[in-house]
Amino acid sequence: MKKATSIIIIVLTLALPFFVNWLTTFGNVNTNNDWIGFFGGYFGAIIGGIITGLVAYGIALFQVRKIERDQKVESINKFLMTYHVIYPSLERLIVLLDKGSEHRAPLYSLMISHLERETQSKEMGNTNAKDSRLLFALASKDLSDIVEVREEIKEIGVNINELRDEYISLCFYGEYIKLKQTLNKILKIINTFLFHDDLIPKNEIEKVYNFYHDMHSNNNVIQHKLAHDKTDFVRDVYKIKSELEALYQRKTKEKEKLNLGYNYFF
């Protein structure tokens, strides 16, 4: 229907001058020059109007696309801002949980090492006091390192939680929430692990709870289970890091294309 209407309008527009020409045979227009002037003015107005309309349409279309492009670039820039906070935090977290550093073993190794040394120290008792004291000192050092790891993970959590939600890309928002939940779970595991350890100072109420757990389920067994549970969260961290890397590559390419298209016009 719209196509037929457009055709009718075009036909009428082109036919109008010829209708006017027929009227001029009655003597209203006296010279060919008048007729040529009429046609020139008529079609000139049409062509001029079309050109003006096309220019106006082109300018409006360019402005709309520029606004869309600027909005996309702003969204990508917000993502990149969060990326430069989250990605280093994930790398640091992986070192703390899994890789370890030159001066300190990863969390899982520290937990297992501490439990083994603490158990061996207790078993030796007075039969080999020297080795028992050495193992006790090493177990205490492991425990101190675990506390340090906990504090560093807390710091990572603070940095992540300070990010503004509106700066998080929608396609990464689910992983962002999962990361925060994972950090909280890891901290809970560490805190529970420390609570069940005999070397951690406790108030009277905590001692009662600790003694109750040791009688009914054995604190050492609980700690071993916690250490192994932590490995599940390490896999989650690696997965989040991998998805963030892929998203960064995609967003970087999108920005390059947007900038290339913008520079083409300027």
**pLDDT of 158 higher than 90:** yes
Q: Are residues 116 and 45 in the same domain?
A: no
Contact predicate 14/46, CB 8 Å: no
Q: Is residue 71 part of a domain?
A: no
Q: How far apart are the first and last CA of the chain?
A: 41
Q: Is residue 69 part of a domain?
A: no
Q: Are residues 105 and 10 in the same domain?
A: no
- The whole-number pLDDT of residue 150 equals 94
Q: Are residues 108 and 187 in the same domain?
A: yes
Distance CA 73, CA 79 (A): 10
Q: Is residue 1 within a helix (H) or strand (E), and if so which, with residue range?
A: none
DSSP type of residue 164 = -
Q: Are residues 56 and 172 in the same domain?
A: no
Regarding predicted confidence, which is higher, 9 or 81? 81
Q: Are residues 194 and 94 in the same domain?
A: yes
Among 98, 76, 71, residue whose Cα is nearest residue 170: 76
- The whole-number pLDDT of residue 135 equals 87
**pLDDT of 90 higher than 90:** yes
244-264 residue pLDDT tens: 999 999 988 888 887 776 554
Regarding predicted confidence, which is higher, 172 or 54? 172
Q: Are residues 196 and 218 in the same domain?
A: yes
pLDDT tier, 13 (very low <50, low <70, confident <90, very high otherwise): low
pTM: 0.68
- The whole-number pLDDT of residue 43 equals 58
Q: Are residues 169 and 191 in the same domain?
A: yes
Q: Are residues 171 and 251 in the same domain?
A: yes
174-196 residue pLDDT tens: 889 999 999 998 998 888 888 87
Q: Is residue 68 part of a domain?
A: no
Q: Are residues 143 and 16 in the same domain?
A: no
Average pLDDT value for the chain:
77
**pLDDT of 5 higher than 70:** no
- The whole-number pLDDT of residue 26 equals 47
Whole-Å CA distances, 181 to 107, 118, 178? 18, 31, 5
For residue 25, what are the domain limits? 2-63
Q: Is residue 89 part of a domain?
A: yes
Domain final residue pick, 63, 87, 103: 63
200-249 residue pLDDT tens: 776 666 666 666 566 556 677 777 787 777 777 888 899 999 999 999 99
Domain final residue pick, 63, 91, 115: 63
Q: Are residues 150 and 99 in the same domain?
A: yes
DSSP type of residue 25 = T
Q: Are residues 50 and 92 in the same domain?
A: no
| Residue found under tokens 């070397």 | 199
Q: Are residues 96 and 208 in the same domain?
A: yes
15-40 residue pLDDT tens: 555 555 555 554 554 555 555 565 55
Report the pLDDT averaged over residues 79-87.
89
Report the pLDDT averaged over residues 103-118.
88
Count of the separate structural domains present in the chain: 2
Q: Is residue 70 part of a domain?
A: no
Q: Is residue 49 part of a domain?
A: yes
